């Protein structure tokens, strides 16, 4: 269910990752409720260009460790991203980031701009855009109770949320849906999902950097699904206005998981951003 190929110990925790190629480095950071599986149709084509491509599961997500004593918030994941790059000897990278991965990448780019060559943000959380109305309702309605959902109740809940991530609802069925549900099928799955992911759905991590977005001076491209039900297009326009020189590209007939609705178009945009003909 995953195309990651190994595990790496970073700052005392285990991260599942994939690191291929020897050229200019590109790092992919996934979002939520997700894991690196979302990049499966994109990453191999970028690897084929000769770039060194790093893909990994965030701490508490996918195949990575799920420790109860570590911070898995956007802020904690930002610090860990820097430690991961240090561990792999990557001084300066292009970052391609989706959803909360975009918040992690933006915070990292502001904290260490000399380490980010280019930045692409796909349907990212920003400002006060998150949590979405549906997740806000779940968080407000006794989050602790959700940790104790039965397997069937949990799968029903997460399936309903995942169906909202795509414009073409038929995509989020069968094997694709099963792959997104897979990391949560163990006994620890539902509890970990709410502890490591949902508990940290908090716009403080994006609102506190909003006034500093003008300091991002590296090339930035913002890629957005026109039918995103969670992150409205108006937020993409605001990001493009606040980040100097940022380019906004809207993909029609695509939702929040834009790489599921339009993997070929997303890949083409990434290759173009890297200066490669698709």
Query: Is the confidence at residue 247, as pLDDT, over 50?
Result: yes
Across the range 168-183, mean pLDDT stands at 96
| pTM for the whole structure | 0.96
Across the range 255-261, mean pLDDT stands at 98
How open is the CA angle 46-274-225, to the nearest 5 degrees?
80
Q: Give the span between the Cα atoms of 99 and 124, in whole angstroms.
A: 4
Query: Is the confidence at residue 173, as pLDDT, over 90?
Result: yes
Across the range 233-250, mean pLDDT stands at 98
Across the range 201-222, mean pLDDT stands at 98
Across the range 203-224, mean pLDDT stands at 98
Confidence at residue 21, expressed as pLDDT on a 0 to 100 scale: 94
Complete DSSP assignment for 51-74: -EEEEEPPTTSTTS---SSS--SH
Across the range 189-199, mean pLDDT stands at 90
Confidence at residue 62, expressed as pLDDT on a 0 to 100 scale: 95
Confidence at residue 1, expressed as pLDDT on a 0 to 100 scale: 46
pLDDT band with cut points at 50, 70 and 90 for residue 277: low
Across the range 132-160, mean pLDDT stands at 86
> Which is nearest to 36 in space by CA: 84, 71, 79, 75?
84
Query: Is the confidence at residue 99, as pLDDT, over 70?
Result: yes
Sequence ranges of the domains in the chain = 6-130+203-273
Confidence at residue 274, expressed as pLDDT on a 0 to 100 scale: 97
Q: Give the span between the Cα atoms of 254 and 264, in whole angstroms.
A: 12
> Which is nearest to 159 in space by CA: 254, 33, 13, 19?
33
Confidence at residue 186, expressed as pLDDT on a 0 to 100 scale: 84
Confidence at residue 68, expressed as pLDDT on a 0 to 100 scale: 87
Query: Is the confidence at residue 112, as pLDDT, over 70?
Result: yes
User: DSSP class of residue 159?
Assistant: H
Would you identify the CATH topology of the domain 6-130+203-273? Rossmann fold (3.40.50)
Q: What is the pLDDT of residues 19-57, one digit of tens each?
A: 999 999 999 999 999 999 999 999 999 999 999 999 999
Confidence at residue 3, expressed as pLDDT on a 0 to 100 scale: 84
Query: Is the confidence at residue 200, as pLDDT, over 80?
Result: yes
pLDDT band with cut points at 50, 70 and 90 for residue 103: very high
């Amino acid at each position: 269910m995953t195309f990651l190929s190994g595990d790496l110990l970073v700052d005392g925790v285990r991260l599942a990752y994939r690191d291929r190629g020897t050229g200019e480095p590109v790092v992919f950071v996934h979002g939520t409720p997700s894991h690196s599986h979302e990049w499966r149709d994109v990453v191999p084509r970028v690897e084929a260009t000769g770039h060194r491509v790093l893909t990994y599961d965030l701490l508490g997500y996918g195949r990575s460790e799920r420790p109860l004593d570590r911070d898995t918030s956007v802020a904690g994941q930002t610090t860990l991203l820097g430690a991961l790059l240090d561990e792999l000897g990557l001084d300066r990278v292009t970052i391609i980031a989706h959803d909360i991965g975009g918040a992690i990448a933006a915070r990292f780019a502001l904290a260490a701009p000399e380490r980010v060559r280019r930045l692409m943000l796909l349907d990212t959380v920003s400002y006060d855009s998150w949590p979405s109305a549906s997740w806000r309702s779940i968080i407000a309605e006794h989050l602790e109770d959700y940790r104790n959902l039965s397997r069937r109740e949990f799968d029903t809940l997460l399936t309903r949320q995942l169906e909202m991530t795509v414009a073409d609802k038929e995509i989020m069925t069968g094997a694709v849906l099963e792959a997104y549900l897979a990391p949560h099928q163990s006994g620890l799955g539902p509890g970990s999902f709410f502890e490591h992911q949902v508990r940290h759905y908090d716009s403080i991590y994006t609102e506190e950097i909003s006034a500093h977005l003008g300091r991002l001076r590296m090339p930035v491209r913002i890629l957005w699904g026109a039918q995103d039900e969670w992150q409205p297009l108006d937020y993409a326009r605001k990001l493009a206005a606040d980040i100097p020189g940022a380019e906004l590209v809207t993909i029609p007939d695509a939702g929040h998981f834009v790489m599921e609705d339009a993997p070929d178009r997303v890949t083409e945009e990434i290759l173009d951003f890297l200066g490669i003909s698709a």
